[in-house]
Amino acid sequence: MPSLTLCLLGVLATVACSAPVEPTGSTEPAQYEELTLLLHGVLQLSQALNGVYRTTEKRLTEARHGVDLSGHVLEFLGLEVSQGRDATQELRTNLSEIQMDEDALQAQAEAAAQELAQAGQAQQVLQDGVQRLQTQLRDAWLGHARHELETLKAHSNKQSYLMWVIMGHMQRQKQEMVVQQQWLRQIQERLHAAALPA
């Protein structure tokens, strides 16, 4: 753009200089003055065009910077989305593992409950035997029956202790399952929140 303006100015200057100079009073000096005015107008036009060129070049540079910045922002957002997908996949994997652990704990709790029921039945049988023996002992104070009674009482006490231990174990398992379920719910809520579109 500036080189075109300079060429135009050079042509006009050549035309102006080559114009013949006539004496004052004829019509030719008026043409020379017109050329001078024309040359002045061309200079003003070239300055205006130069200003427009510089403004346009500045705007283009700013636009290039804006495009570069937008590219960096898009690249960063793409990376964030990729990391979000990886985190969501990892949460899903952890959730599946926790679900498997919870199923295993549930199976253990059911097995312990079954064992406790069997132990309760055995305890009832022992108590019934103790009561029968006590009745027999009251009827006939036999030494052998008394010894058997004491043995059954000891066995019954041992069974009671075992049931107490099993019940404590089941109580701990229930507490662990409650904690595990709360943790699982929290992870499910976070996974659901991460899966929602922003």
Give the separation between CA 170 and CA 181, rounded to whole angstroms: 16
Give the model's pLDDT for residue 61: 92
Q: What is the 3-state secondary structure (H, E, C) of 62-76?
A: HHHHHHHHHHHHHHH
Integer distance in angstroms from the first to the last C-alpha of the chain?
48
Mean pLDDT rounded to a whole number for the chain: 77
* Tens of pLDDT, residues 142-197: 566 667 778 888 888 888 888 888 888 889 988 988 888 898 888 888 887 877 76
Query: Which of the given ranges, 14-18, 57-61, 91-95, 99-103, has the highest pLDDT on average?
Result: 57-61
pLDDT score for 115: 78
Place of tokens 């050549």: 14
Q: What is the pTM of this model?
A: 0.36
Q: What is the pLDDT of residues 87-128, one digit of tens each?
A: 778 878 877 787 787 788 778 878 877 877 787 787 788 788
| Residue 7 predicted with pLDDT over 70 | no
**Per mean pLDDT, which range of 12-16, 53-57, 99-103, 171-175 is the poorest?**
12-16
* 21 φ/ψ angles, rounded to the nearest 5 degrees: -95, 115
DSSP state of 164: H
CA–CA separation, 180 and 141 (whole Å): 57
User: Stretch 81-87: mean pLDDT, rounded?
Assistant: 79
Q: 94, 187 in Cβ contact below 8 A? A: yes
Q: State residue 21's pLDDT score.
A: 47
Task: Report the pLDDT averaged over residues 7-12.
Answer: 57
Whether residue 145 contacts residue 137, with contact meaning beta carbons closer than 8 Å, is answered with yes
Confidence of residue 139 (pLDDT cuts 50, 70, 90): low
- Structure-model confidence comparison of residues 155 and 27, the more confident one: 155
Q: Which burial class, exposed, middle or buried, applies to 112 when counting CB atoms under 10 A from its CB (0-12, 13-18, 19+)?
A: middle
Position 15 confidence tier, pLDDT thresholds 50, 70, 90: low
16 Cβ contact partners less than 8 Å away, ≥ 6 residues apart:
32, 35, 36, 39
Closest CA to 33 of 47, 44, 43, 22: 22
Residue 34: CA count within 13 A, CB half-sphere:
6
Mean pLDDT across the stretch 57-82? 86
